[in-house]
Chains A and B, each alone.
Chain A
Amino acid sequence: MGRIPRTHLIVLIRLIARTTPADRWKCEILPLRNGFAGMTPETREHWLELDSTVYSVEAVAKTAYRLADVGVFQIEHSSTGQLRVVIQKCSAGDTMECYAHLKREFLTELTDQLLRERIAVQTEARRNLILAHAYSSSSLSGS
């Protein structure tokens, strides 16, 4: 995925299932029509800035998806090109503690997503080989 135009801030991450593993996660970037109109000054304070050379948009989006029941997240590029996650709503309550807890949860889950990415990259060829073999009648060793 190329660099996201700054004018196209992510409002919603629409995760579209694909039937092939390679592109099973696709982030669709939708333009933000109303700017920050829906956000109060308070919610704008709850955000995380992430180094975009360390964290992929996919990993951040997957994290937001997994935590969708406890918070509403807006993912955008900051003016310096970093990834920014704004916590628009914390389901557990509108308190500093809740937002702080949610930030920690987000970072913990994000770290797990990075690990998942590493495993997926390292094992993709093996996964395809195993699936092909499992669902065919041939043998890998030819025996």
Chain B
Amino acid sequence: MHTPHQALADRSPFKGKFSGPSAFVDKLQAYRLLPFDFERLDGDRYFLTNMAGEFVLASRPELQQIVDCSLSPVDRLYAELKAKHFIESGNSLAAPELLAVKVRTKADFIRRFTALHMFVVTLRCDHSCQYCQVSRQSEDRIAFDMSKDTAAAALDFTFKSPSPQIKIEFQGGESLLNFDLIRFIVEEAEARNSICGKDLQFVAASNLVPLSDEILSFAEGRPFYFSTSLDGPRDLHNRNRPRPGGDSHNFARTGIKRVRDRLGIARVSALMTTTADSLARATDIVDEYLDAGFTGLFLRPLSPYGFAIKTRQYYNYQVDQWLEFYKSALSYIIRLNESGVRFQEYYTALILRKMLTPHPTGYVDLQNPSGIGISAIVFNYNGKVFASDEARMLAEMDDERFALGNLTQNTYEEIMLSPNLVDPIQVSVLESVPMCSDCAFRPYCGSDPVFHYATTGDFVGHKKFSPFCRRHMGMFKHIIGLMESSASTRELFEAWAWN
């Protein structure tokens, strides 16, 4: 094989005066393998990842050569494998030490501990979305509002977190229907933080129907953000999100504009949920987000909780159908970028950040060990503490498997060391899960014990039949294929990863 080294040697003015690079290889210093996993993509192509998620693509014969330790330092793959710490040579501990630092960096979310604290300030909601993951209550049922005492206890808990960043997210129901409590929580948190000095942020998850000038005035001058739902064009959004008087879409779009006009463009974000009606509307949904002035969207599938199960919405489409929808939307977004329109798909960007950068992400669903409790925690309106928002949704379906305790009855230590939290995290660590333990996509994936418990009855499930595994495998392989097939897409994805 004519290698780049040889080509260089051929052009060298010293040609003939020196031996080629292969002559300088120390035959006694053969390389050794460092831990890595691999996955067959299709046919002869293999995807290899080291412990930190850096990857290399190789053919089957090349993979065999790597494992046989028969690669030569002048072979194409050798330098890449060594630079990315798939192999080592000599007696230095530099390679494992550097690799350990990379692994430690990727796992930094464990050290930071719980940052996201979700306060379910009310279950009341004016919408009656068929896919709602929460068992909402009608607007007049104030029995489902969080009390000030409970909120104060939740704040006590929140400020015990060692995390230097604290994000308090107000969830519902429709959170803004209990704005008085939100005001109380924000002011109390700010008072406590004047001593703690943490990086404090607030987010209200809202359909923006109750948005008022009073709320906007309160948010002004504070790190207070809004997160709303925008499912797509008016007909699709309104079909997904019915409410008395209709036109939820108009409230969402008007609310987005009001927040931006008053507080700035970055103060409001939107999420979409994919229903069966969305599947054929990928480009319409992207266009809706562009029209609303967003520079990206998060393509989110339905989750198997709450009304999505009761109304059987969750069963209306299969993973493969969602993947086709995802691919179609992503293809359109790539074309938009190629034509000069800056727009991201945030789910893809999260995965790319894991693939192409040394940094961890804060996305709980794709964390290993699972981020339940240790990255995000939920305080329900009645003082019950749950390991995640999905765990709370499960409890609304009368399954309290992930209930960690009660703010008024249990200490911080009792809640964070609850068997209902420790057991699922421990059991679902991917390094010990069948199939995940030798999966090359493990560094990019998450364990999500709540999803698997909800769908299979145990924290792990059989990955070959797991919609979670199927969806993410499909996404990983598609993203890799896109990067391989086009240099411009690779460049675009690099930009998304580092953005």
A residues apposed to B, CB below 8 Å: 15, 17-21, 24-25, 62, 65-69, 108-109, 112, 115-116, 118-120, 122-123, 126-127, 129-131, 133-135, 139-141
A129:B96 contact, CB within 8 angstroms: yes
- B287-344 residues with Cβ-Cβ distance < 8 A to A are none
B residues less than 8 Å from A139 (CB atoms) = 97
B residues less than 8 Å from A66 (CB atoms) = 435, 464
CB of A38 to closest CB in B, whole Å: 20
B residues less than 8 Å from A17 (CB atoms) = 427, 432-434, 460
A-B contacts, 5 listed (Cβ < 8 Å): A25-B437, A119-B37, A126-B35, A129-B96, A140-B96
Interchain CB contact (< 8 A) of A68 among B32, B63, B464: B464
CB of A134 to closest CB in B, whole Å: 4
The 5 residue pairs across chains A and B that have the minimum distance between CB atoms: A133-B100, A134-B103, A123-B35, A15-B434, A127-B35
B100:A134 contact, CB within 8 angstroms: yes
16 additional A-B residue pairs with CB within 8 Å, beyond A21-B437, A120-B438, A134-B104: A15-B434, A17-B432, A20-B432, A62-B438, A66-B435, A66-B464, A115-B63, A116-B38, A119-B35, A120-B35, A122-B32, A129-B100, A131-B51, A133-B100, A135-B104, A135-B107
CB of A90 to closest CB in B, whole Å: 15
Given the contacts A112-B38, A134-B107, A68 and B97 also touching, CB distance less than 8 Å: no
B residues apposed to A, CB below 8 Å: 32-38, 40, 51, 63-64, 67, 93-94, 96-97, 99-101, 103-104, 107, 426-427, 429, 431-435, 437-438, 460, 462, 464-465
Specify which of A21, A120, A126 lies most central, judged by the most chain B CB atoms within 10 Å of its CB.
A126
A69 to B293: give the CA distance in the assembly, Å. Answer: 43
**Closest chain B residue to A69 by CB distance?**
B464
B437:A130 contact, CB within 8 angstroms: no
**Closest chain B residue to A118 by CB distance?**
B67
Interface Cβ pair total, 8 Å cutoff: 97
A24:B462 contact, CB within 8 angstroms: no
A24 to B434: give the CA distance in the assembly, Å. Answer: 8
B435:A130 contact, CB within 8 angstroms: no
CB of A27 to closest CB in B, whole Å: 11
A20 to B432: give the CA distance in the assembly, Å. Answer: 7
A67 to B7: give the CA distance in the assembly, Å. Answer: 45
A65:B37 contact, CB within 8 angstroms: no
A8 to B34: give the CA distance in the assembly, Å. Answer: 38
A126 to B460: give the CA distance in the assembly, Å. Answer: 27
By secondary structure, the A interface counts as helix
B435:A65 contact, CB within 8 angstroms: yes
**Closest chain B residue to A109 by CB distance?**
B40
A119:B67 contact, CB within 8 angstroms: yes
**Closest chain B residue to A23 by CB distance?**
B432
Given the contacts A68-B465, A122-B33, A115 and B435 also touching, CB distance less than 8 Å: no
A108 to B427: give the CA distance in the assembly, Å. Answer: 30
A residues less than 8 Å from B67 (CB atoms) = 115, 118-119
B residues less than 8 Å from A69 (CB atoms) = 464-465
A65 to B460: give the CA distance in the assembly, Å. Answer: 14
A116:B464 contact, CB within 8 angstroms: no
CB of A142 to closest CB in B, whole Å: 10
B residues less than 8 Å from A115 (CB atoms) = 38, 63-64, 67
Given the contacts A19-B426, A123-B34, A24 and B431 also touching, CB distance less than 8 Å: yes
A25 to B438: give the CA distance in the assembly, Å. Answer: 11
A141:B97 contact, CB within 8 angstroms: yes
A residues less than 8 Å from B426 (CB atoms) = 19
B residues less than 8 Å from A18 (CB atoms) = 432
**Closest chain B residue to A16 by CB distance?**
B434
A116:B107 contact, CB within 8 angstroms: no
CB of B433 to closest CB in A, whole Å: 5
Given the contacts A18-B432, A119-B35, A123-B33, A130 and B96 also touching, CB distance less than 8 Å: yes
B residues less than 8 Å from A20 (CB atoms) = 432
A130:B103 contact, CB within 8 angstroms: yes
**Closest chain B residue to A108 by CB distance?**
B40
B103:A131 contact, CB within 8 angstroms: yes
CB of B435 to closest CB in A, whole Å: 6
A25:B99 contact, CB within 8 angstroms: no
A residues less than 8 Å from B432 (CB atoms) = 17-21, 24
A67 to B394: give the CA distance in the assembly, Å. Answer: 31
CB of B1 to closest CB in A, whole Å: 23
